[in-house]
Amino acid sequence: MIKNLLFDLGGVICNIQRTRCVDAFEAMGWNDIASYLGDAAQKGFFMDLEKGLITPAEFRNQVRQHIANPAATDSDIDNAFCRFIVGIPETRLQQLELLRRKYKIYMLSNTNPIMWNSVLASEFEKLPGKKREDYFDGIVTSFEEHCAKPEPVIFERVIEKFGIKPEETIFFDDAIQNCHASAQLGFNWRHVKPENEFFNLI
């Protein structure tokens, strides 16, 4: 019997578009930015930020070196980075509210503190009086746990932190490698493709 739903954020709940971020950084003079940003996972110091291995300040200083512009402000860099986020349709927020009446709802996201504390907070405030934590019974992020999907350890953290059983849980992710990783620990899973809505896959 399924009791829990475990959601990825980007590409499942929140729409993302890598090319918007690439274009923004290229406009700042960073020609090989595309090699750092993947559709499913980031590389280099971008992944270090997602794993909480470097601070936002250290990340921004690395960006300044790549764009060869020491005068670039924190806001300039953050705004370019956050172009990755397109937004969360209100329909998905409403569906999360409905699903929470029947299931325990959790989030497992590879994300970073720059986006998490700005655009990814405000996107969950679209419905009146709501904030991010109102939609979930628990949240695990890569930058707080210092590990990232598809590493098995981050799924183990979810199990330990919330006391859930994988066989009673469906995991939703847009990256098939993350789905397969969850299966190794016994999770049921759904691969959320661009043409799918997570709430139609339960």
For 162-183, the pLDDT digits (tens) are 999 999 999 999 999 999 999 9
pLDDT of residue 69: 87
Single pTM value for the model: 0.96
Determine the average pLDDT of the residues in 128-148.
Answer: 98
Average pLDDT, the chain: 96
Question: Residue 38 above 80 pLDDT?
Answer: no
Question: Residue 113 above 90 pLDDT?
Answer: yes
Catalytic residues: 8
pLDDT of residue 97: 97
Determine the average pLDDT of the residues in 111-133.
Answer: 97
For 94-112, the pLDDT digits (tens) are 999 999 999 999 999 999 9
**C-alpha to C-alpha distances, 68 to 25, 26, 37, 179, nearest whole angstrom:** 12, 12, 19, 38
Going along the chain from its start, the domains and CATH numbers come out as 4-15+87-200 (3.40.50.1000), 18-84 (1.10.150.240)
For 42-83, the pLDDT digits (tens) are 999 999 999 999 999 999 999 999 998 889 999 999 999 999
Strand-pair category, 188-191 with 169-173: parallel
